[in-house]
Amino acid sequence: MAEINNCSISEVAEFFEHLSPKGKNEVVSSKIVQEIRKRVSFLIEVGLGYLSLGRQSTTLSGGEAQRIRLASQIGSGLSGVMYVLDEPSIGLHQKDNQRLIHSLKKLRDLGNTVIVVEHDEETILNADFIVDLGPGAGDSGGRIVASGPLKTIVSTNSSITGPYLSGEKTIFKGTQKTVTSKTPKIELVGAIGNNLNNITIEVPVGVITCITGVSGSGKSTLINETFVPALKNSLNSKSNRPKNYEEIISAGNTKYLVNIDQTPIGKTPRSNPATYTGLFNLVREVFSQTPLSRERGYAAGRFSFNIKGGRCEDCQGEGSIRVDLNFLPDVYVPCDTCKGLRYNNETLDIHYRGKNIAEVLDMSISEAQAFFSAIPAMATKLTTLADVGLGYVKLGQSASSLSGGEAQRVKLAAELAKRNTGNTMYVLDEPTTGLHFEDISWLLKILVKLRDQGNSLVIIEHNLDVISRADWIIELGPGGGKYGGNVTAVGTPRDISKTNSATGDFLRSVVLDQI
């Protein structure tokens, strides 16, 4: 049992394919095995063949959890239902994505309406009907720019999506840095974690390196579980973790390592983008300097919703009270005393330029950008947040409600706001998650800027636009699970597009178009 639980779903499928029980067991098991085979095949169809059955649901990414539900829906065979999906393509390699689109179409052909919120080009191109919202984000959005089949979208001038789809406009392209044999490289020798087959990689310093490969090929194992801790060890020389690699040979001027992953920025609802980036300290400082608060003797701490003094004591500054409903999910009700404002009335008396602290927390980042433009320290922080495409997020939005991609971009912004060192290795895990073409353009500009300041970047990515704009690509594969774990291609995007690797095939069209 435990062994099957640890197998990947593709392996389970194979196991049950060859399973032929004898005698009495054949009759008993045939129905059960049939059910198992059916479920397993749906999971493979939505591109989850690499997961193991024993994998805890809490450790799944949002996209994976979503695809599991999708698999069970396809299995249920209902018809006449309206399915609403939120970016199902997240975290999928182009190859797996085609399978996903296939399953969505299958769901449609069963007689269902499938509505997908999506940025992925391939999915959009495959849609029967497209709705383009815009033109901007937040307040400047919320209008339908175009709706109809692909033709209509492409021919609508005001659409920002259209030009990208028709190839008229392309995502920002910086100059590419060439990697030569003289470029210093960090060498990781003999990585063996999970499914990695004792592989050695060289990560060039001072350029953007993209790690790609089909789902389950070992990208995360290689980077998040091997490369990052290994480099951390060699930079700080301490850790008692078991090594799953032979050695790491550092080179170049890399002194710091910053890992910008998709783990949440805080476990409690008390953490938010403002507290994480340190922006909130400045906001509190500003409020404590207003005449009224000086008169009353309020210090910066008064404006924190985490400590006694200024916060509403009934909800302890959370703004909502959790009601435990036993078997139903917990319900949060707004606090009666402060009406969800998190502060007591005395604190809310203090206004800065006509807004009190609760109203500031309710501002979106773009609004705050205009509001605090006169204070340089805050303006820089807010600009970096807006630059990574987070302009629509509220300052006080609780960290637990941010998606993985948003959390990652908050971290990225916090890093960008720090003083640049020029010798840092940034590791990013799928930074384009949930981003529109236009947003990706912005993001790429930032990444290229970081590189041009002398930093190195390692990005795990599926997005072809990002891959094609990287300076160096390492592809893992060829398959997922036990069929992966090898380096299948290394080189510049142009080199890769000439190979027969999984990425190469898809990259060929993109590279030929654009270079």
Partner 1 sequence: METITVKGARTHNLKNVDLVIPKNKLVVITGLSGSGKSSLAFDTLFAEGQRRYIESLSTYARQFLSVLEKPDVDFIEGLSPAIAIEQKGRNQNPRSTVGTSTEIHDHLRLLFARTGEQRCPRHGTPLRAFTVSDMVEFIFSLGLNGRILILSEIPLSNNQQLNELLDRLKAQGFFRVRIKGTTFDLEDNPVIEFDDIKSIEVVVDRLKITTPSKNRIVESIEAALKINSSGIHINELKEDKNHFLSKLKVCPHCDYTAPDLDPKMFSFNHPSGACSACEGLGEIEAFDEGKIIAHPSLSLASGAISGWSRSNPFYYDLLTSLSAHFAFDLDTPYEELPEEIKKVILHGSGQQKVEFRYRARNGGSKQEVHAFEGVITNFSRRYQESNEPAVKDSLSKYHQYACVPRM
Region from 112-120, 184-192, 248-256, 494-502 binding partner 1, contact rule CB under 8 A:
112-120
Q: Does the footprint of partner 1 cover residue 111 (CB under 8 A)?
A: yes
Site string for partner 1, 347-376 (x = CB under 8 A): ------------------------------
Determine the Cα–Cα distance for residues 30 and 35; give it in Å rounded to an integer.
Answer: 9
Judge whether 383 and 213 are in contact, CB under 8 Å: no
For partner 1, the binding residue among 17, 20, 141, 301 (CB under 8 A) is 141
For partner 1, the binding residue among 157, 180, 181, 240 (CB under 8 A) is 240
Judge whether 83 and 113 are in contact, CB under 8 Å: yes
- For residue 48, the minimal CB distance to partner 1 (Å) is 8
Helix (H, G, I), strand (E, B) or coil at 162: helix
Determine the Cα–Cα distance for residues 260 and 435; give it in Å rounded to an integer.
Answer: 16
Q: Of 501, 494, 514, which is closest to residue 178 (Cα–Cα)? A: 494
Q: Does the footprint of partner 1 cover residue 328 (CB under 8 A)?
A: yes
Q: Does the footprint of partner 1 cover residue 311 (CB under 8 A)?
A: no
> Tokens in use for 242?
């078991």
DSSP string, 310-374: TB-TTTTTSSEEEE--TTSPPEEEE-TTTTT--B-HHHHT--BTTB-HHHHHTSBHHHHHHHTTT
Determine the Cα–Cα distance for residues 44 and 216; give it in Å rounded to an integer.
Answer: 12
Q: Does the footprint of partner 1 cover residue 167 (CB under 8 A)?
A: no
Q: Does the footprint of partner 1 cover residue 117 (CB under 8 A)?
A: yes
Any bridge partners for residue 256, and if so which? 424
Q: Does the footprint of partner 1 cover residue 116 (CB under 8 A)?
A: yes
Region from 121-129, 182-190, 242-250, 444-452 binding partner 1, contact rule CB under 8 A:
121-129
Helix (H, G, I), strand (E, B) or coil at 84: strand
Q: Does the footprint of partner 1 cover residue 102 (CB under 8 A)?
A: no
- For residue 62, the minimal CB distance to partner 1 (Å) is 3
> Tokens in use for 17?
């394919």
Q: Does the footprint of partner 1 cover residue 211 (CB under 8 A)?
A: no
> Tokens in use for 237?
């020389």
Tell me whether residue 455 is exposed, middle or buried, using C-beta atoms within 10 angstroms of its C-beta: 0 to 12, 13 to 18, 19 or more: buried
- For residue 415, the minimal CB distance to partner 1 (Å) is 19
> Tokens in use for 418?
């720090």
| 7 or 377: CB nearest partner 1 | 7
| 170 or 183: CB nearest partner 1 | 170
> Tokens in use for 234?
């060699």
Amino acid at 270: R
Helix (H, G, I), strand (E, B) or coil at 269: coil
Q: Does the footprint of partner 1 cover residue 13 (CB under 8 A)?
A: no
- For residue 202, the minimal CB distance to partner 1 (Å) is 31
- Residue 166 has a CB neighbour count (10 Å cut-off) of 14
Q: Of 276, 269, 238, 235, which is closest to residue 252 (Cα–Cα)? A: 235
For partner 1, the binding residue among 41, 98, 147, 234 (CB under 8 A) is 147
- For residue 131, the minimal CB distance to partner 1 (Å) is 5
Judge whether 172 and 444 are in contact, CB under 8 Å: yes
Q: Does the footprint of partner 1 cover residue 331 (CB under 8 A)?
A: yes
Q: Does the footprint of partner 1 cover residue 435 (CB under 8 A)?
A: yes
- For residue 196, the minimal CB distance to partner 1 (Å) is 20
Number of residues this chain uses to bind partner 1 (CB under 8 A): 102
Q: Does the footprint of partner 1 cover residue 377 (CB under 8 A)?
A: no
- For residue 247, the minimal CB distance to partner 1 (Å) is 21
Element (H, E) at 249: strand 247-249
- Residue 427 has a CB neighbour count (10 Å cut-off) of 22
| 195 or 503: CB nearest partner 1 | 195
For partner 1, the binding residue among 12, 203, 382, 511 (CB under 8 A) is 12
- For residue 79, the minimal CB distance to partner 1 (Å) is 9
Q: How many CA atoms lie within 13 A of 181 on its CB side?
A: 0
Length of the chain: 515
| 114 or 447: CB nearest partner 1 | 114
For partner 1, the binding residue among 84, 157, 181, 324 (CB under 8 A) is 84
For partner 1, the binding residue among 14, 41, 83, 102 (CB under 8 A) is 83
Q: Does the footprint of partner 1 cover residue 232 (CB under 8 A)?
A: no
Residues numbered 17 to 76 that lie near partner 1 (CB under 8 A) are: 21, 25, 28-29, 32-33, 35-36, 39-40, 43, 48, 51-58, 60, 62-63, 65-66, 68-73
Residues numbered 289 to 308 that lie near partner 1 (CB under 8 A) are: 306
Determine the Cα–Cα distance for residues 270 and 343; give it in Å rounded to an integer.
Answer: 13
Site string for partner 1, 378-417 (x = CB under 8 A): -----------xxxxx-------x-x--------------
Q: Does the footprint of partner 1 cover residue 430 (CB under 8 A)?
A: no
| Residues 368, 373, 378, 382, CA torsion sign | positive
